[in-house]
Amino acid sequence: MQLFLDTTDTAELKALAAGGLVDGVTTNPTLIAKSGRPMLEVIAEICAIVEGPVSAEVAAVQTEAMLAEGRRLAAVASNVVVKVPLTSEGLAAVQVFAQEGIATNVTLCFSAVQALMAAKAGATYISPFIGRLDDYGSDGVSLIHDIRTIYDNYGFDTEILSASIRTVEHVKAVAIAGSDCATLPPAVFKALFKHPLTEKGLEQFMSDWAKTGQSIL
Ligand code: E4P
C-alpha cells in the first residue's frame, strides 16, 4: 500500500520524505488555507520535494471552471493530480481530464456507489473519507472493503486512496481491506514506526551490548 502525506507543511514533508517511505502527497483547500501561502507556490514546492503524485484540489464547482483550474494546476508539474469533488459536475470534468491525460483524485467520497460512479468516469484515484464517516456514526473502514469488492468485480483500475485517516489502527484496517494507498496526517505517519516494545527492546539490547565492550567496526 502506498503511503501519502496529507499536508502543506513543506518543512515537515521534506524531513519525512528524506526517510524514503513517502510515496506522494495530498492537499485540500483547508490545508492550503492553513499554510497561509499562495496555492500554486506551495504545490510547486511540494512537487519538487516528492516525485510521486501530488493532489491539488480545484476550488470551482462548475465543470468548465473546474476544467480551467485543473489544467492550470496540472501545468505546475508533471506529478500533479487534479483533485475534484464527487459531484455530477466534478465527474463530468473527470471524464474530460481522462481524455486529456490529466490524472484525477475524486474527493469527498462517502459511499460505495459514489466510488462506482467515479470509477466509471475514469478517475485515477478515489478518496473515501474514513475518519469523517466514523465521526458521522458510520463505519469508514467497511466502505473500503465495499469499494475494493466493487472495483475487483468489474476490473476498474481506479486506485483506492483511503483518506481522513486518524489513527494507526485505521492504516492497518484499510491495508487489510486492500486499499491501494492511504493519505495520512504527519503525526499518524510518524506513529507507524513506533511500538513501546521496540523502544524497550532496543534499550535492553544497547545496554547489554555496551557491557560486552565490543565494536562491530
Ligand atoms: C485528503 O485527501 C483529505 O482531504 C483529508 O484526508 C481529509 O482529512 P480530514 O477529514 O482529517 O480533514
Query: Looking at residue 71, what is its pLDDT?
Result: 98
| Residues known to be catalytic | 83
Among protein residues, the one with the nearest Cα to ligand 1's atom 8 is: 164
How high does pLDDT run on average in the chain? 98
Q: Does ligand 1 have an atom closer than 6 angstroms to the CB of 131?
A: yes
pLDDT tens digits for 59-86? 999 999 999 999 999 999 999 999 999 9
Query: Looking at residue 82, what is its pLDDT?
Result: 98
Query: Looking at residue 17, what is its pLDDT?
Result: 98
Per DSSP, which regions of 141-189 are E strands? 159-162, 181-184
In this prediction, residues 131-142 reach a mean pLDDT of 97
Pocket test for ligand 1, best of 2, 32, 124, 164 (most atoms within 8 A of CB): 164
Return the CATH number of the domain spanning residue range 2-212: 3.20.20.70
- Centre of ligand 1 to C-alpha 6, Å, is 7
Q: Does ligand 1 have an atom closer than 6 angstroms to the CB of 6?
A: yes
Q: How many CB atoms lie within 10 A of CB 101?
A: 7
All three cell numbers of 128: 473515501
pLDDT tens digits for 17-26? 999 999 999 9
Query: Looking at residue 154, what is its pLDDT?
Result: 98
Query: Looking at residue 128, what is its pLDDT?
Result: 98
Query: Looking at residue 136, what is its pLDDT?
Result: 96
Q: How many CB atoms lie within 10 A of CB 60?
A: 17
pLDDT tens digits for 1-11? 999 999 999 99
Q: Does ligand 1 have an atom closer than 6 angstroms to the CB of 127?
A: yes
Query: Looking at residue 211, what is its pLDDT?
Result: 98
Query: Looking at residue 197, what is its pLDDT?
Result: 98
Q: Does ligand 1 have an atom closer than 6 angstroms to the CB of 107?
A: yes
- Centre of ligand 1 to C-alpha 166, Å, is 9
Report residue 199 CA to chain centroid gap.
28
Question: CA-CA distance, 73 to 39, in Å (whole number)?
Answer: 9
How far is residue 119 from each of residues 58, 91, 154, 190, measured CA to CA in Å? Answer: 19, 9, 10, 31
Query: Looking at residue 24, what is its pLDDT?
Result: 98
In terms of Cα–Cα distance, which of 79, 78, 59, 77 is closest to 69?
A: 59
In this prediction, residues 122-128 reach a mean pLDDT of 98
Q: Does the global pTM surpass 0.85?
A: yes
Domain ranges of the chain: 2-212
Q: Does ligand 1 have an atom closer than 6 angstroms to the CB of 186?
A: no
* Structural contact between residues 101 and 127, judged by C-beta atoms closer than 8 angstroms: no
Query: Looking at residue 46, what is its pLDDT?
Result: 98
Question: CA-CA distance, 67 to 46, in Å (whole number)?
Answer: 22
